[in-house]
């Protein structure tokens, strides 16, 4: 029964201007919308296929750099968790490599920026 009441209340709040809502109504509206969006995202989110690239040339393609630079990126160990190497064959999960590189760059940025003294 509460879901029906909540649905009616939500429908009424969606028609009401925000400036006329009190804090409780606004909080209910926001929580209802975000919970609905999250449940829809979980239901409709397709399984993402891994986007793999192969070799040093694949790493260069991911990062948009030259092959020597791609070789340095691989040797640096920044993207090791994204690399699977069997013999001479290198397979790189592109999405994970980009994520690892961005985390590394964020760490470098945070390390180099000075914190203001209070």
- Distance CA(96)–CA(101), nearest Å, equals 9
Buried b (16+ CB within 10 A) or exposed e, 8-22: eeeeebeeeeeeeee
Per-residue pLDDT of the chain (118 residues; tens, 9 = 90+): 556 777 777 778 778 887 888 888 878 877 777 776 666 655 565 566 778 999 999 999 999 999 999 999 999 999 999 999 889 899 999 999 999 999 988 887 777 776 565 5
- Residue 90's DSSP bridge partners are 85
- pLDDT of 5 reads 78
Q: What is the pTM of this model?
A: 0.54
- pLDDT of 43 reads 57
Which residues have C-beta within 8 Å of that of residue 21, sequence separation ≥ 6? 13, 29
- pLDDT of 50 reads 74
């Amino acid at each position: 029964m509460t879901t029906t009441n909540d649905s009616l209340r939500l429908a009424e709040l969606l028609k009401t201007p925000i400036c006329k809502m009190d804090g409780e109504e606004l909080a209910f509206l926001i929580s209802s919308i975000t919970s609905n969006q999250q449940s829809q995202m979980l239901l409709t989110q397709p399984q993402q296929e891994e986007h793999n690239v192969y070799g040093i040339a694949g790493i260069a393609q991911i990062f948009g750099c030259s092959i020597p630079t791609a070789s340095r990126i691989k040797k640096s160990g920044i993207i090791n968790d994204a690399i699977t190497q069997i013999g001479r064959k290198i397979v790189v999960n592109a999405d994970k490599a980009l994520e690892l590189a961005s985390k590394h760059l964020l760490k470098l940025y945070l390390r180099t920026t000075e914190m203001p003294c209070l």
